[in-house]
Amino acid sequence: MALAPPKSLLHLIDKKTGKKSKTPPHFVKQGQAVIARLETKGVICVERYEDYPQLGRFILRDEGKTIAMGKVLKLVEVDPSSAAVAAAASAGGSAA
């Protein structure tokens, strides 16, 4: 499944205190924890980690190397009619 680059980095998380930064970071270094907004180019099956821990984890890989792993904290619902159009367009069909 192809993932677009992170849509936005929202907060850095202090590992000792668990507090979120007030300003969004410009980049993330190895070993840092971050809350980011991700968007996929297709449909994937995920759930919030709190609801279904097995479906609430993810790993991002690039050219065979793990670049990030994490938990799904929140899902943004997509309008079903626009999802059908997007799926038809990506499959090379036409939406009726």
Task: Provide the whole-model pTM.
Answer: 0.66
In order along its 96 residues, the chain shows pLDDT tens digits of 555 666 788 889 898 998 999 999 898 888 888 988 888 777 788 889 999 999 999 888 888 888 888 898 888 776 655 544 444 444 444 344
What per-residue confidence (pLDDT) applies to 87?
A: 41
Residue given tokens 């670049």 in the structure block: 67
Distances (CA, A) of 3 to 18, 53, 60, 95, 96: 27, 21, 8, 23, 27
Given a contact cutoff of 8 angstroms between Cβ atoms, the answer to whether 39 and 23 are in contact is no
